[in-house]
Amino acid sequence: MKYGSAYLASALAASVVMVAPASGQETDWTKRVTQSTIGGHVMGNPLARHKLTEYMSYTCNHCAAFEKESHSALTAKYVNKGHISFEVRNLVLNPIDLTAAMLARCGGRTRFFGNHRALLMQQSKWLTKFQSASPEVMKTINEGTVPQRLKKIAIAAGLDNLMKGRGFTAPQIDACLANQAEQDKILAMTEYATSTLKLTGTPSFTIGDQPLAKVHSWTALQPKLAVLPQ
């Protein structure tokens, strides 16, 4: 597809406005959240020189550990400087993971990273609750439409109450779990991770869409980021 010079000039101007600091003050890039074409959520400068992506699962304890260990340093030392953006993409492993992934997207892009962190910081609590559900409850989870099944999983794990604690109403939660467009994005990211990038575990990381071999923790990732030029 070809674009005229007027269109390109307009697009460039829009990009410049988008990344310009307000009122001459330094931009807090951790507050800037956009969405990539595949549906991942990107924290930081959309025009960052280096694009870091995490492929994660909400039922992965190593992903929860990464969130706990990396959050402060990743945002302050790297994302907020504007030369590295951080994108979260899904690599879904099971139905409860899909349920949490759907809920993380409630409220749009501005609510995503707060939901994401809350789900991971409370992971052990809601996973334990789900795993201790009665056989009767587990049997009913396999009955009904996909949104109905996801709702049953959310209730069994207490994820509905977690989201209510974040200000979402029951109808809003139901709508998030029934959002086919968001589900399609989650599954597309999972397909890309497994089929195109050949990722086999979570969390896994890419820089510029290139997988980082044997990097599955903050301890292993930080040295890779530290040597990236600003």
Residues 6+ apart with CB under 8 A from 45: 19, 27, 29, 32, 82, 83, 85
Who has greater pLDDT, 11 or 131?
Answer: 131
What pLDDT, on the 0 to 100 scale, is given for residue 20?
Answer: 40
**Residue 104: closest CA among 46, 145, 156, 162:** 162
What per-residue confidence (pLDDT) applies to 15?
36
112 in Cβ contact with 34 (< 8 Å) = no
Q: Going edge to edge, which strands form the sheet with 84-90?
A: 33-35, 41-43, 84-90, 50-56, 204-207, 210-211
Tell me how far apart the alpha carbons of residues 132 and 226 are, in angstroms, rounded to a whole number.
42
Phi then psi for 119, rounded to 5 degrees? -65, -40
Q: Is the pLDDT of residue 168 over 60?
A: yes
Give strand pairing partners of 35. 41
User: For residue range 36-73, what is the model confidence (pLDDT) as tens digits?
Assistant: 999 999 999 999 999 999 999 999 999 999 999 999 99
Residue 27 is predicted with a pLDDT of: 87
Q: What is the mean pLDDT of residues 198-215?
A: 97
- Structure pTM? 0.88
What is the distance between the alpha carbons of residues 37 and 33, in angstroms, rounded to a whole number? 13
Task: Tell me how many degrees the CA angle 219-44-34 measures, rounded to the nearest 5.
Answer: 120
- Residue 3's pLDDT is what? 38
Residue 11: which pLDDT band, with cuts at 50, 70 and 90? very low
Q: Residues 83-119: pLDDT tens digits? A: 999 999 999 999 999 999 999 999 999 999 999 999 9
pLDDT of residue 26: 76
